[in-house]
Amino acid sequence: MSDNSSGKEITVPPIADELGRVFADGGYELHLVGGPVRDAVLRRTVSDLDFTTDARPESTEAILRAHCSTVWTTGADFGTIGGLFRGEQVEVTTFRADAYDRVSRNPIVQYGDNLVDDLERRDFTVNAMAVSLPGHEFADPFGGLADLARRTIRTPASPESSFADDPLRMLRAARFAAQLGFGIDPETLDAMRRMAPELGRITAERIRDEFTKLIMAPDPVVGLRILVDTGLAERFLPELPALRMEIDEHAEHKDVYEHSLQVLRNAIALEQEGPDLQLRLAALLHDIGKPETKDVVAGGGVTFHHHDVAGARLARRRMRELRFPKSDVQAVSLLISLHLRFYGYGEAGWTDSAVRRYVTDAGAQLERLHLLVRSDCTTRNRRKAERLRRDYDAFEDRIARIRAEEDLRAVRPDLDGNAIMELLGLPPGPEVGRAWAFLKELRLERGPMPREEAESELRAWAAREGVAPRRDAE
């Protein structure tokens, strides 16, 4: 079970050894386990320290209260006690040997009496290694070190047993493949295909959180392919595998599925300040309206008219079902709804009014929209790709020029609500809102106007619409 030389070579944060000495003085074992050990072996930054001990929760709490400035017991029912130790947040969990009811996935908490049983209940062998503290005795009973060398994801127990205990581990396997660039052991992968329906036992929130971690990984495409190939994606994001057979209208990609994955990779390459969840989701889902809008025309061609509108609706529904925050739902659906608007700019030309409307409609999502539109160009035709790039460069320059002349990010009518009510003799109410909307459209169309011109246009509108002063406003 042990390999002292391997353990000695693993560098752990000094605070871990300090905590180990505290537990040893109390007569208990303490081990660093899971991801921190994996990352230490890979020479990656170690964070979110995860400890396990043979001390029961009440003993752990007593030790931590004696040495921590703050202690919390919110996880006590599952054997976990947390505290602020030497200014660092630590959590210590008693050895576990849980069983699961395999219906709700809720564990029947049972404390174990040895480290091996605790490691066997963990998700993957690369996360089932431990280092004793402060002695640094290395424990690897399930071959995690060898799997790290082979760059392989495998379960400590049989994959059937592991996934039956917690089906979310199947999504986690895909996520670790994306984060670490690893492959999945064939037996484990086969179990994921067979047991994909078990994902139905997992709450939408847990699926959302795991999927978010996957999509934010360095190369989420690796994990997404696994989700689609195993049938897991069909269980919570069926719009993605539905793209596989939908050839795009230009016949320039193997299929819309491959195109969407490439757009995602393009978007990631354009990120300026780290992983951007809203941009990545919009890139992945931007074409999910194509299957619904596919139409075969004379001569065998294919069109997907209004797939932007359909895609925004589908993305909004799916993200709501997965309990994404409202801000994410709104941002992603807006980006999808607008991702086609730019096309044709180079040939048809746009008025300043059209540019204003584009900027106004995009609002706070304008910069992401720029990145999404650029990412959507996956044509192999270099001349066409270069033309589209030049067109969008010119388009962004034009936006910058107009912005320098007027504040497009907060386009407002030339008259505010008070001025409208005073001019038309109206009290607060829906007619003022209609007048305000008319003036905003006029502002978008013409740009800023002198007050006299705005007032003249408003009077003319009121006459056409039959808006007259109300007696109670006089």
pLDDT band at 4 (very low <50, low <70, confident <90, very high): very low
Consecutive H or E run containing 402: helix 382-405
Closest residue by Cα to residue 55 from 92, 110, 86, 21: 92
pTM of the model: 0.80
- 94, β-bridge pairs: 53
pLDDT band at 252 (very low <50, low <70, confident <90, very high): very low
> What is the token pair recorded at 106?
């809720």
CA distance 130 to 19: 15
CA distance 111 to 220: 36
pLDDT at 347: 61
pLDDT band at 172 (very low <50, low <70, confident <90, very high): very high
Whether residue 201 is predicted with pLDDT greater than 70 in this model: the reply is yes
CA distance 255 to 417: 51
pLDDT at 468: 78
How many alpha carbons lie under 13 Å from residue 283 in its C-beta half-sphere?
A: 33
Encode pLDDT of 126-156 as tens digits.
Answer: 999 999 999 999 999 999 999 999 999 999 9
Whether residue 328 is predicted with pLDDT greater than 80 in this model: the reply is yes
pLDDT band at 98 (very low <50, low <70, confident <90, very high): low
